[in-house]
Amino acid sequence: FKNYDPSLFSAALASNSSNLLSIFTKPDVDSKLATFNSVLLSTLEAHASVKRIKIRSRPCPYVTTEIKDLMNARDQILRRFKTTRDDNDWHIYKEARETVKTTLRNAERNYIRNEVQTHKEKPGCLWNIINKVIPSKERPTLTYGKDHKSVADDFNQFFSSVGRKTAEEATRLALENNINISTAGLPSTPLGNSPDDLFYFRPVTCTEVQNIILSMTSNKSPGLDKINMRVIKDSLPVILGPLTDIINCSLNTSTYPKAWKKAEVIPLLKDGDHEQASNDRPLSLLPVASKVCEKIVLSQFNTYLTRNNRLSSHQSGNKKHFSTETLSIFVNDTILKAMDNKKLTELVLIDLSKAFDSVNHNILLQKYERIGASKPSLRWFGSYLNGRSQVVRIGPTSSSPLNLSHGVPQGAILSPLLFCIYMNDLPLPPRTSSLESYVDDSKVFLSFPIKETTSTKANLEEDLCLVAKLCLTNHLLINPEKTKFLLIGTPQLLKILPSSMTLSFL
């Protein structure tokens, strides 16, 4: 994009408006999107063709022209000293050097302070600032024993099957423990019975699409179509109508475009041997235009769920006024009140193995229907979930594509809400304990006087057994290694209890 001119690009796109206007006459959403992508990519190739470049250090944002002048003056004095070897020149150079150091330090401090103040309401931006300020270890260039294509295929085989294998393990454990998985823990009756109670998509306007696009950040990586958000924004006056038509066609026909269901996965090393796929975290990249459609669906469906109170009050995330902060405050307040009343609290932090990857599509769609989705919207969600595929990219080399049979799409806007609906009935089972969840993180806790330690432990184990059974019926697997048990109370009470306590789930 070095020589890219957004005005020239937009003008060239406008001159090709006949092809864009033909989108309105196409018979289906896939042909509409194919034309849309073809016009954008052909025009983009002429104005910002892909070139391989050497990445250099980015310019420092707080180094102003005045600071550069000070640095140049410092360097000039140093060159003079090297010629004259005069002590006075050396003294002048040291003063100039210290002036540059002090000025740089103050400029950096002021820049960080202003950035934090500007983005204090945006956690993602704050973390980016922190990561820039705190020095990180340089990542070494990774080399592989096999060719990149073979490695990419191996990684894709692992990433695409991990959800299915986790779900199969959950099913095996359920059968071993005589747990009925046929009903999948669904509520016995639908929440909405009359057509007026059900959720239907409504047509979206150009203004809504425009507002969503303008609210999205421009620095997100593109998907397989290589169309980034910067290009979408630059061409917005020209493409707004056709893109709105594509989205409305998708909603009206209950069909999610096939091209938007193809993901590119970049492995990010967590720790250990980088040639072992299990040591890498998959970063899934989806087409940015698909996220515009997802945001529209998220807004409409969230409004319905909130207005009709469909989500459990014990489930945080994707709900207004139900955040990580509110959940942490509630749990901490419960524990502190128990301590004030001379009680202990048993707290179990439940970790699910590959939770997003192991979601069963049929069960999820049943839960959509129970929560109030109409038949047309149910078909749209089915189209959204099914028929997905992915490739893994190692450097410039991509694997062969593989289909995904389980899970909600990684990196998708809708996925957290989809999982919340999948887990919506999880807070129901506990009889004596409290259970609070934030998407896939759940906490079971119970406060008690010390004289009831034995009975409380039995009650908590009974509740955990119910939670474990419900997870298994939903093809979710609790990870015992990462699930933690905490006993919280005042030092005076804790020292009376045994030094170690264990809990059983099944």
Could you identify the residue written with the tokens 């004030």? 340
Q: To the nearest 10°, the Cα dihedral for 380, 384, 387, 389?
A: 170
Q: To the nearest 10°, the Cα dihedral for 206, 212, 213, 214?
A: 110
- The Cα 297–Cα 494 span in angstroms is 50
* Inter-residue long-range contacts of 453-458, CB under 8 Å, 24+ positions, other chains counted: 453/344, 453/497, 456/346, 457/346, 457/501, 457/503
Alpha helices in 345-490 (DSSP H): 361-371, 375-385, 415-422, 453-473
Alpha helices in 147-271 (DSSP H): 148-176, 206-215, 229-234, 236-253
Around 348, how many Cα atoms within 13 Å sit in the side-chain half-sphere?
Answer: 28
User: 281: which strand partners?
Assistant: 268
Close Cβ partners of 76 (under 8 Å, ≥ 6 residues apart) = none
pLDDT at 195: 67
- The Cα 169–Cα 186 span in angstroms is 20
Residue 392, phi then psi, degrees to nearest 5? -110, 135
What does the angle CA 374 – CA 356 – CA 142 come to, to the nearest 5 degrees? 140
Q: Which two tokens stand for residue 156?
A: 């894709």
- The Cα 438–Cα 324 span in angstroms is 7
- The Cα 68–Cα 84 span in angstroms is 24
Question: From first to last of its 506 residues, what are the pLDDT tens digits of the chain?
Answer: 566 777 888 888 888 888 889 999 999 999 999 999 999 988 888 776 555 555 556 678 889 999 999 999 999 999 999 999 999 999 999 999 999 999 999 999 999 999 888 888 887 788 888 877 776 666 666 777 788 899 999 999 999 999 999 999 988 888 887 777 654 444 444 555 566 789 999 999 999 999 999 999 888 889 999 899 999 999 999 999 999 999 999 999 999 999 999 999 999 988 888 888 889 999 999 999 999 999 999 999 999 998 898 888 888 877 777 888 888 999 999 999 999 999 999 999 999 999 999 999 999 999 999 999 999 999 999 999 999 999 999 988 999 999 999 999 999 999 999 999 998 877 665 678 888 888 888 899 999 999 998 898 888 888 888 888 888 889 999 988 889 989 999 999 888 887 667 777 65
Residue 440, phi then psi, degrees to nearest 5? -100, 5
pLDDT at 140: 62
Residue 402, phi then psi, degrees to nearest 5? -130, 145
Residue 282, phi then psi, degrees to nearest 5? -80, 125
- The Cα 28–Cα 249 span in angstroms is 7
Computed from CA positions of residues 164, 169, 170, 171, in that sequence, does the dihedral angle turn out positive or negative?
positive
DSSP string, 300-365: HHHHHHHHTT-S-TTEESSBTTBSHHHHHHHHHHHHHHHHHTT-EEEEEEE-EETTTTT--HHHHH
pLDDT at 180: 72
pLDDT at 189: 45
Question: What global pTM score does this model have?
Answer: 0.81
Q: Give 496: exposed, middle or buried? Use CB within 10 Å, 0-12, 13-18, 19+.
A: exposed
| Domain edges within the chain | 6-52+148-422, 65-133
